[in-house]
Amino acid sequence: MSPGPHDPQSDYLPGKKSRPQKDWSLWERLWEKHGTPLMVGASVVFVIAAAYLVTEVQRNAGSSLAALSLAQAEELRQLSLKKEAEFESQRLNKAVIDDGDLALLGEAVQAQQDYLTSRGALASENVRLETMRRRYHVIQAERQRSISTEAEGKATAIAKSDPAGAIVELRRAVEAERLIESRWFFSGYADVGKIARLDTRLRRLEAEPLRAQTQALEAQAEVAFTAGRLDEAVKGMGEAIETEQAFVGKYRDVLDTEFARVERLSIRQETMRSHPLYLQTVAAEAAAAEAIKGYAKAISGAAQEAQATLAVQAFERALLAQAQLKQEFPRSAWATVARETAFAKQRNRWRSAGSLQDVETRAQTMAKYLRAGQAAEALDLARALREKLTRVEAENPGVVPPEDAMRRQLEYIVTHAATIQVILPKLDQLVAPVAGSSIRMMKQEISQGFYSTVMGANPSASMRENLPVESVAYADALAFCEALGWMCGRPIRLPTVAEYKAAMGDLALPPGAKNAWTFDNTDGVSARPVGSSQPTGAGYFDLLGNVEEWAQAEATDDFASVVGGSVNWVPVSGLPLRKALKREKSRTIGFRIVIE
């Protein structure tokens, strides 16, 4: 029997003994206890060393002066006295002292300073030094102030005629004032406010050419753009932007510029760059306009459909060009959502041209049914047309928005079906013909009940169904006419002043008490129920008195006539008539309507 396999050799290799880890806890405790004082001490030593190095030169100079003998120090004092005396002599003998004379006083100050340094600070001699030094600084400062004043005066005189020369003079003035501040400070003449004022004037003059330059560059770019030199215009506008940026960066604090001018110029430059694409949209719009003209002239349905297709294709091209313009030049003034929306709406409009034309044609049939009193047929057709418009809007968004006139009319007719069935048979009974015309006028004022039925609300201040509606503005009366016209399929409007006069007949005498509610037979405030007075021979009630009535006016006018007087009118002969703002609402103003 053979022996079994040998045991595998062990892979274990005995390693070296691990080194003992250092105990850092002791160092951490020491640092925690003494670290902060050590850092503070090191900082103090560093500051002292730096101060020592910085003042070494002064200390060496002071040491050399301190080593002078008493005789040498006295020589310095005598030199100072001598130089001061020489200066005083020159000052007495001359009307104007020069630089050489001032040098004598400067030497006297320096000699006295050296003397004090060699002997230490002597109070009596310090007073002399401070006096001489201040005197020296005052004289120097006065000379610089004279230069500053002279230069400023010259700059003021030539600022308009010679701006460049004024800039040179103002620089002299600023330099002189800054010299007083930095060198001759013991004079007490330093004027920070004056330096700031002169500097502002200087920088304003320096800024003006730069501002004029950027404006000129912009104007030149616009001229090039108008002339069709697009590359030149874009380059010129870029130069204008760079110049404006330099101006704003350096001079914005001293000279006003147009707010966000850099932004405006940048937008204008991008607008110029987008001009070729903009022209593509313009060309597409022009092609669409021609197709729309062709649609209007077309006789057959096929010809109209062909022109509508051309219009759709043109607006598609406009949309593509506009989308590219927005993507490549998003900051262009022409990269607007409004333009894109308008193109899309027009494209959708002409996509659905056939459906819209059909709705318009059938709406005329609906109006015929209403005029004939065939309410059921009209309502069925209105429901069908409303459904069709709803589908058109779903397929082509924006074509039939909520404010669309046809949509509003159909919505109103469908939602007021019951009211229409009641009003249609009775409407002819409520009107009477006006002599000498083809119109018919409402026999009585519009009552609150009638107004509420048509409009769904009653704005009157004093509410009662059979009282005339009041507190209505001119626009409210027009809205009522529009809604009632939808109901009956006829044009309805307010009467004109001439139609009122024709309906009233002879006005040579005041109305009788039974024919009109006026101040004579009422409290002058409260209106009476409509139709409660005696009618005229033509069958009209309250053409005079009760409430004033709005008369038809031009759409662009702010005023309209109100006629007939009210319960606070004192009856006299003639037609009561006044002008009122169309927005006026009064508890004594109502209206009536005419049917054409």
Q: What is the pLDDT of residues 394-447, one digit of tens each?
A: 999 999 999 999 999 999 999 999 999 999 999 999 999 998 889 999 999 999
For the chain, percent of residues with pLDDT exceeding 70: 87
Give the residue carrying structure tokens 């007087």. 565
pLDDT higher than threshold 90 for residue 207? no
pLDDT higher than threshold 70 for residue 578? yes
Give the residue carrying structure tokens 């009211």. 419
Q: What is the mean pLDDT of residues 65-72?
A: 72
pLDDT tens digits, residue range 221-259? 999 999 999 999 999 999 999 998 888 888 777 666 666
Helix/strand/coil for 548: strand
Q: What is the mean pLDDT of residues 19-36?
A: 57
pLDDT higher than threshold 70 for residue 27? no
Domain 430-595: state its class: alpha beta
For residue 50, the model assigns a pLDDT of: 54
pLDDT tens digits, residue range 113-134? 888 888 775 544 588 888 888 8
For residue 15, the model assigns a pLDDT of: 44
Residue 41's pLDDT band, with cuts at 50, 70 and 90, is: low
User: Residue 568 and residue 125: Cα distance in Å, rounded?
Assistant: 104
Beta bridge partners of 561: 579
Q: Strand pairing of 559-563 and 589-590?
A: unpaired
For residue 28, the model assigns a pLDDT of: 60
Residue 12's pLDDT band, with cuts at 50, 70 and 90, is: very low
Q: What is the mean pLDDT of residues 583-592?
A: 96
For residue 259, the model assigns a pLDDT of: 66
The structural domains of the chain, with segments of one domain joined by +, span: 208-273, 275-351, 354-415, 430-595
Of residues 581, 589, 578, 577, the one with CA closest to residue 557:
581
Contact between 80 and 108 (Cβ < 8 Å): yes
For residue 63, the model assigns a pLDDT of: 53
Give whole-number Cα distances, 89 to 77, 83, 95, 97, 104, in Å. Answer: 18, 10, 12, 11, 11
Long-range contacts of 169-173 (CB under 8 A, 24+ apart): 170/198, 170/201, 170/202, 170/205, 171/202, 172/147, 172/148, 173/147, 173/148, 173/149, 173/198
For residue 450, the model assigns a pLDDT of: 96
Q: Which pTM was predicted?
A: 0.62
Q: What is the mean pLDDT of residues 361-390?
A: 95
Q: What are phi and psi of 493, to 5 degrees?
A: -150, 180
For residue 4, the model assigns a pLDDT of: 47
Q: What is the mean pLDDT of residues 19-45?
A: 60
Q: Which H/E stretch holds residue 504?
A: helix 497-504
Q: What is the mean pLDDT of residues 57-74?
A: 64
For residue 30, the model assigns a pLDDT of: 61
Q: Sheet with 559-563: list strands edge to edge.
A: 577-581, 559-563, 548-550, 589-590
Of residues 238, 236, 239, 256, the one with CA closest to residue 248:
256
pLDDT tens digits, residue range 379-400? 999 999 999 999 999 999 999 9
Phi-psi region of 580 (alpha: psi -120 to 50; beta: other; left: phi over 0): beta
Contact between 104 and 132 (Cβ < 8 Å): no
Helix/strand/coil for 120: coil
For residue 98, the model assigns a pLDDT of: 85
pLDDT higher than threshold 70 for residue 55? no
pLDDT tens digits, residue range 131-151? 888 888 998 899 999 999 999
* Structure token digits, residue 518: 């006026």
User: Residue 352 and residue 396: Cα distance in Å, rounded?
Assistant: 7
Residue 301's pLDDT band, with cuts at 50, 70 and 90, is: confident
| Domain covering 275-351 in this structure, CATH number | 1.20.58
* CA end-to-end distance (rounded Å), the chain: 133
For residue 14, the model assigns a pLDDT of: 46
DSSP secondary structure letter of residue 456:
S
Give the angle subtended at the CA of 550 by the CAs of 549 and 552, to the nearest 5°: 140
For residue 131, the model assigns a pLDDT of: 86
pLDDT higher than threshold 70 for residue 164? yes
pLDDT tens digits, residue range 248-297? 888 777 666 666 888 999 999 999 999 999 999 999 999 999 999 999 99
User: Residue 83 and residue 239: Cα distance in Å, rounded?
Assistant: 62
Spacing of C-alpha 50 from chain mean position: 59
Contact between 93 and 41 (Cβ < 8 Å): no
- Residues with Cβ within 8 Å of residue 227, at least 6 apart in sequence: none
pLDDT higher than threshold 60 for residue 24? no
Spacing of C-alpha 24 from chain mean position: 68
Determine how many CB atoms are found less than 10 A away from the CB of residue 561.
19
